[in-house]
Amino acid sequence: MNWTWFHRLASPPSFFRFAERFAPWFGGLGLLLLLVAWYGGLVLAPADYQQKDAFRIIYVHVPAAAVSLSLYIAMAVCGAITLIWRMKLAECVLVAIAPVGASFTALALLTGMLWGKPMWGAYWVWDARLTAELVLLFLYLGVVGLNGAFDDPRTAARACGLLAIVGAVNVPIVHYSVVWWNSLHQGSTILKFGKPNISASMAWPLYAGLLGTYLWCGYAVLRRAQNELLLRERGTRWVREMGTELAGTADVC
Amino acid sequence: MSALVALFARELKLAARARTEWLMPPLFFVIVVTLFGFGVRPNDPQLAAFAPAILWVGALLAALLSLERLYRSDQEDGTLEQLLVSPTSLTFAVFIKSLAHWLLSGLPLVLLAAPLAAMLGFPSALLTPLVVGLALGTPCLSFIGGFVAALTVGLPRGGALLPVLVLPLIVPVVIFGAGAVRASGQGLDASAPLYFLAAILMFTLTVLPWLAAAALRNAFE
């Protein structure tokens, strides 16, 4: 198998062009899937026999929570690549992921709290899953804060990489918290072996929402990484060439 | 090896000459715990119920006080650069620094915990899990905190950042430390959470000095 395309991706100009070409697809498809999922989840899916309409929050909550964990893993992997191979691109992606991950973690916590009030009778319980997710938010915010404290972006990214790797011990704790402890939070409904515990009429918008959220995250991370890359490489020739190239093709300016 | 012994002796000698520095964390601990006593109505029996949380959080905050100084003064006078260029393993040097930190600002807190617990009306039967837990948990803070101090060394705004980065990482230590006391209070065996604490301690002792050394090298590149 030919891996040159993959190696070429590591160079900033080719990544930039790759992102320029694919980010609109990620964003467009993601938005489309999200709209379909929300319509399916909020309108088409039948109300739950027990939770009535309140269960519909899962169409936002579950994708946000899944993405918050996946993004953290991606950030820690970028951290490892940053530290081992010193890839500039991994640094940019790492820094790009942190705010996106923090937002989705906050969204998962907020939607969970809104659901918790009618279902459990409390916005917040000191439960393993909830607390671990809250710690995940602190870890994301710590990476954002640490990155902002440095003057040199490369030193900042490597420090963030180290912090992200240490914080990664929390990821399995969040994921398995419902298994290891007697948690008030319910166990996994779809991400498990065997038949899912959810009827197909309720499940398809959830799958669409998951895929849509992942694509949307991909879009956000790609765009943020592009910005980060432009900022860091602003003095180089390829950025200037691309600037003149874009200025030539654009209708305005 | 002799370089590491010398480094350890240097840490102790510096501490002996700047007594206020290592006397402040224990004093802070005593004051924080006393403030809780003032905050509730006199002789509130609830205070004993919250004593494990108060003592644990107080001890961790007190140990946090001196963390920023761990590498800051060495960085200011150039010792840190000497450590970086010296043939001695930086990982072991970091280990020694964190160990000295625990000896000077962690151990006094462990020793103070028993009299302070008595002040809070804490049942003396539960003292063993509390003190053993603190003895296992405070070195975790010194090593995790040492790693974060290495990450933020030389940052102008590192002072406020350090606690924000350390405290989320220290959550498991608080859970198992206070959990051991709680389990013991309910008549259960406290050894399971204490073993967990010991496992966390072993992990921090072995992995974090290595990562802290990487962080220090990164800061000086």
Q: What is the mean pLDDT of residues B24-45?
A: 87
Question: Which tokens is B210 given?
Answer: 């290595």
Helix (H, G, I), strand (E, B) or coil at A199: coil
Residues of B in contact with A155 (CB under 8 A): 218-219, 221
The mean pLDDT value for B191-212 works out to 93
Residue A33 has pLDDT above 80, yes or no: yes
B101-159 pLDDT tens trace: 999 989 999 999 989 988 888 888 888 999 999 999 999 999 999 999 999 987 877 77
ipTM of this complex: 0.85
Higher confidence at residue A173 or residue B99?
B99
Residue A188 confidence class, pLDDT cut points 50, 70, 90: low
Per-residue pLDDT band for A253 (boundaries 50, 70, 90) equals very low
Lowest-confidence segment of A49-58, A189-198, B187-196 by average pLDDT? A189-198
**Residue of B215, B211, B91, B205 lying closest to B150 (CA atoms):** B215
Per-residue pLDDT of A124-168, as tens digits, reads 888 778 888 899 999 999 999 999 988 889 999 999 999 999 998
Question: Cβ contact (<8 Å) for A146 and B208?
Answer: no
- Our CA-based measurement puts residue A109 at a distance from the nearest CA of chain B, in whole angstroms, of 16
Interface of B with A (CB under 8 A): 147-148, 151-152, 155-158, 161, 164-165, 167-169, 171-172, 208, 211, 214-215, 218-219, 221
Å between A139 CA and nearest CA of chain B: 7
Query: Which residue type sits at A245?
Result: E
What CA–CA distance (Å, rounded) separates A77 from A69? 12
- Contact between chains at A162 and B152 (C-beta distance less than 8 A): no
Instruction: Calculate what percentage of chain A has a pLDDT beyond 90.
Output: 42
**Closest in B168, B214, B215 to A139, CB measured:** B168
Residue B40 pLDDT: 82
pLDDT of residue B36: 87
Structure confidence at residue A194 (pLDDT): 57
CA distance B23 to B25: 6
- The stretches of A10-57 forming alpha helices (DSSP H) are 12-39
